[in-house]
Chains A and B, each alone.
Chain A
Amino acid sequence: MSPAAELVCVVDDDESVRRGLRRLLKSAGYTAETFSSAEEYLAREIFQGALCLLLDVRMPGLKGPALQEALEERGTCEQIVFITGHGDVPTATRAMKKGAVDFLTKPFDGEELIQAVKRALKRSEERLRNRGERLKARSRVEKLTPREFEVLRFVVMGLLNKQIAAELHTAEKTVKVHRGRVMQKLGVTSVADLVRISQWAGVSPARKRA
C-alpha cells in the first residue's frame, strides 16, 4: 500500500503535545497532520485512505466524544484513539462502546501509542476494503434487469428453478436462462458466491407467496 493511502491526524489543544506526537509519528514513518481543535479537523477535506485519529477528550469548543459522534454520522472510515489527561472511566467506556480503538491516558508510553495507531490504521483499512467490496457488488447488481433481479431474490431464498418458475408463472427453462445471466453479470460461478455478493449489495430475499 502506498504511504499516501495512510494518514494519522492529531487533534489536541496543547501545542507541546501536538509537536511531540507529530515528531513521534514521523519517526515511526507515518504521515501526520495536527489540528488544535475539533472544528479545525472537521474543516479538512475528507481523506480517502486509511486514517487514524488521535483525539484529546478535553478541549475548548467541541470535545473529543462529540467529534466522535459527528464523524459517525458522516460515515467516514477513520478509527479513533482517545488520549486524555485524566482517566475518566465512564467517558472511556462510552468511547470504546462507540467503536474507539483505544483510550490512552496521558502521559503514555510512545511505543504504546504507536501500537494503538497501527491497530487503528489496520481497522480503518479493513473498513475501507469492505466498503470497496460493497460498492462493487452493488454496481454489478444494478446492471441486472428487473426480471433477472426478481429471479436473484428467489435464488437467494434457496428455491429450485421449478419452484421459481411456479412463483413467476413462467417456464422452468426461462428461469434457467435468467439465472445463467445473473451468474454471468455478477461474475460468480457458485450459488454460495451469489449469496455473499447479494448480501454485500444489500439484496433482500423475495417473500414466498402464501
Chain B
Amino acid sequence: MILCWFISNSCEALIGAGCVRYLIDRPVRFDRLGNVGIFIFFAAFLGPFLSSFVDAAFVAINHFGGDSYWQVWRIRFTSNILAALTLVPLIVTWVGDGIAWLWKIRQARFLEAAFLLGALLSVNTIVFYKLGPSADSALLCLPVPFLIWAAVRFGSRGASGAICTLTFLAIWSAGHGYGPFSTRSAEENALSIQMFLIVMSVPLLLLAAVIEERGKGAMTLREREDRISLAAESANLAFWSINFERKESWMSDKGRAIFNFGPDEALSRELFLSRVHPEDRNAVDEAIEQARASSQTFEFEYRLLRPDGETRWLISRGRYVRDDRGGIRELIGVAIDITEQVEADLQLRLQREEMARMSRVSSMGELTASLAHELNQPLTAIASNAAAGRRLLAQGPPDAKIFEELLADVATDARRAGDIIHGIHHFVRKSEGRRCPVNLNEIVQEVLRLLHSDLLGRATPVETQLAPNLPSVDANPVHLQQVLLNLVMNSLEAMQSTPIGKRRIVISTTCEDSSSVLVTVRDYGSGLPKEDLDKVFNHFYSTKPNGMGMGLTIVRSIVEAHGGKLNAENSDEGARFFFRLPVKPKSETPEVI
C-alpha cells in the first residue's frame, strides 16, 4: 500500500512539476501573477486532480479502509491541494534561493515580521482554539487582515509563511477537538477546514504575486531612468518634452543645467528661444516652425547664450507628436551639448592653420636667395637710373623729357619691388581664413611670379595650359597659392637629377563639366616610388634627405578643406599631381582647413 501511495504521490508531483517547468521560465518564483496562476492550476489543482484517481483506485484494489471510491478520491483531492498550496510556496519562497537572505534583513523589518508572527499566532489561537464551536462564524475572517498585511508587506514569503501558520493552527486545533471545525464528524471537519484554507490561501498567494510584481516593475522603471540620466549626463544630453494637452513640461536635470533653467520653470518655445544666441534665433525659430507644419523631425545646430554670459554649442533634435485626430499633442526632443567638441575642432583648425603657415614660412625660407635676386632687379634699375640722373644733372641743365622718363622708370621699379615684398608678406602672414571667389589661372600666374627666379636658377621652363573662362572657386587665395607653390617646388626637387635640357614643368587648368576645376602639375623628374604611391601624402613621409615630410600633407589637407581631392600618379616620365576643386563647395565650416 505504501508503494501505491508512493506511486500516486510521485505521479502528482510529476504532473505538477512537469507542467510548471514547461510553462515557466526558470527560476520558478512566486513573484509574478502569471507564474502563481500556472502553479495554482497545474501543480495545486490538476496534479492532485489526476493523481487522486490513481490513488483512489489503489485504495479500492487493496481494500484499504471502508470508504467508497469517490469518497477516497475527494479526500485525497482536497488534502493534496491544501498540501501543495501551503508547503510548496513555503519551501520555494523561503529556501528556493538559499537562506542567505535571512541574514540581510534589516532590524526594523525583522521586528515587524516578528510582531506580525506574534499577532498571527495569537489571533489564530483565539479564533481556532479559544473560541467555542458556537461562536459567530464571521469571526473566522479575523485573521484575514493579518494575512493581507503579510502579503502586502512581505510578498510571497510573508504570504506563504502566514498561510502555513494559519493552516498549522487550524488543523492542530481541529485535530485536538477545539475551535469551529470540531463540531461534526472527522471527515466533514477535515473537508470544511480544507475548503476554508484553500479559499483563504489562493487569493492571498495571488495578491502577494501582484504586489511583488508591481514592486519589481517600479524598480525596473527606476533603474531605467537611472540609466538614461547617467547616459544623459555623460553625453551632455538634455531630454525634454512639452505636453500641450496637459500643459505640462519636463526636462532632465542635466538639460536644465545646460540651458540654465530653474528646476521648476515651465518650458515653452519662447523661453527656449530667449536662450538661443540672437544671431541664431531666427534660423532656429524657422526650423521649429517648419517642423510644426510638416510634422517632420527637426534638427539644427546653434549657439546658446546663457544668462550667465556663457556661450555653448548645441545640436537639438525633436518632433511634434500628434494625437489620433491630427492635433498636436506633445513636443519632444533631445539636445546635445557639443561645446567641447566644437572647441576642440576649433583648436585643431587653429593648429592646422598654424602648421600651414609654418610651412609657408619655410617655403619662403627655401626661396630667399631667389626672392632676393627678384628684388635686386628693380633695385638695380633704380640705382642705375639715379646714377644716370646725377650724371645728367652734372652735365648742365637737364632735358625735361629725359628726366620725366627716368623718374617714371624709377617709380615703376619701386612699385615692382614693393609688390614683391607685399607678395611675400601676404603669403607668410597669418591667414584671415576668409574665402572669396578665386580664379585659379591668376593663382598660377602669381605663384610663377614668386618662383620666377628659382625656376631660372634651376633652368626649368614652365609651360602653362590655362583654360580660358575658368569659373572661379570659393577659396582662400593664399592657401591655394601655397598648394601650387608646394607642388611646383616638389616638382623642381624631383627634377634635380634630370638633365638640364629635359627639365620641364607643365601646369594646366581645366574646367570639368562646369562643376569642378582640375589643376595639374606635371614634371619630368624621377617619378614617385611605386610602392609608396599612397604614402606620399602621409605625415613625415619624405624621400628628400632633409625633408620634413609635411609639405604634401598640408597641401592635401588644404585641398580637402576646400571640398576637393588631391591625387598623385606616375606618367611616362616623371610624376603628375592633380587636384579638383568644386566650383560651388558644399557648406563648410567658415574657418578654412
> Which residues of A line the B interface, CB within 8 A?
13-14, 16-17, 19-21, 23-24, 26-28, 58-60, 83, 85-86, 106-111, 113-114
Contact = CB atoms under 8 A, between A and B. Distances in A.
B456 to A, nearest CB: 5
Contacts of B383: 20, 107-110
A48 to B, nearest CB: 28
A106 B457 contact: no
Contact of B386 (A16, A21, A110): A110
B409 A59 contact: no
A110 B373 contact: no
Given A27-B395, A85-B453, A113 B388 contact: no
30 contacts: A14-B380, A16-B409, A17-B380, A17-B384, A19-B385, A19-B409, A20-B384, A20-B388, A21-B381, A21-B384, A23-B385, A23-B406, A26-B388, A27-B389, A27-B391, A27-B395, A28-B391, A58-B373, A58-B453, A85-B372, A85-B373, A85-B374, A86-B376, A106-B373, A106-B377, A106-B379, A107-B382, A110-B384, A110-B388, A111-B387
B372 A20 contact: no
A155 to B, nearest CB: 54
Contacts of B381: 14, 16-17, 19-21
Contacts of B456: 13, 58-60
Contacts of A114: 387
Nearest to A28: B391
Given A27-B391, A58-B453, A58-B457, A20 B373 contact: no
Q: Which 6 A-B pairs have the closest CB atoms?
A: A110-B387, A85-B373, A20-B384, A20-B381, A16-B381, A107-B379
A122 to B, nearest CB: 20
A61 B357 CA distance: 34
Contacts of A59: 456
A86 B385 contact: no
A70 B416 CA distance: 34
A19 B402 CA distance: 12
A20 B385 CA distance: 5
A24 B384 contact: yes
A20 B382 contact: yes
Interface in B28-86: none
Contacts of A86: 369, 372-373, 376
Interface in B188-224: none
Interface in B357-403: 369, 372-374, 376-392, 395
Contacts of A27: 387-389, 391-392, 395
B412 interface: yes
Contacts of B413: 16, 20
Contacts of B389: 27
Interface of B: 369, 372-374, 376-392, 395, 406, 409, 412-413, 416, 453, 456-457, 461
B384 to A, nearest CB: 3
B395 A85 contact: no
B387 A107 contact: no
A85 B376 CA distance: 6
Contacts of B395: 27
Contact of B377 (A14, A23, A24, A108): A14
B377 A85 contact: yes
B449 to A, nearest CB: 13
B380 A108 contact: yes
A118 B382 CA distance: 21
B370 to A, nearest CB: 9
B25 to A, nearest CB: 90
B376 A107 contact: yes
A83 B456 CA distance: 16
Nearest to B406: A23
A23 B384 contact: yes
A12 B374 CA distance: 13
A113 B383 CA distance: 11
Contacts of B409: 16, 19-20, 23
A16 B369 contact: no
Contacts of B373: 58, 85-86, 106
Nearest to B393: A27
Contacts of B372: 85-86
Contacts of A109: 383, 387
Contacts of A58: 373, 453, 456-457
Contacts of A83: 380
A118 B461 CA distance: 36
Contact of B416 (A16, A28, A60, A85): A16
Contacts of B378: 16
Nearest to B377: A14
Among B387, B406, B409, max chain A CB count under 10 A is at B387
A114 B384 CA distance: 10
A24 B387 contact: yes
B394 to A, nearest CB: 9
Contacts of A20: 380-385, 388, 409, 413
Nearest to B390: A110
A205 B384 CA distance: 53
A110 B380 CA distance: 9
Given A19-B409, A59-B456, A86-B372, A24 B391 contact: yes
A77 B170 CA distance: 146
Contacts of A19: 381, 385, 409
A60 B387 CA distance: 28
A108 B377 CA distance: 11
A165 B409 CA distance: 76
Contacts of B384: 17, 20-21, 23-24, 110, 113
Contacts of B391: 24, 27-28, 110
Given A17-B380, A24-B384, A110-B384, 13 more contacts: A14-B380, A16-B409, A17-B377, A17-B381, A19-B385, A21-B381, A23-B384, A24-B387, A86-B369, A106-B376, A107-B376, A110-B386, A114-B387
B420 to A, nearest CB: 12
Nearest to A105: B376
A85 B453 CA distance: 10
Contacts of B376: 85-86, 106-107
A103 to B, nearest CB: 14
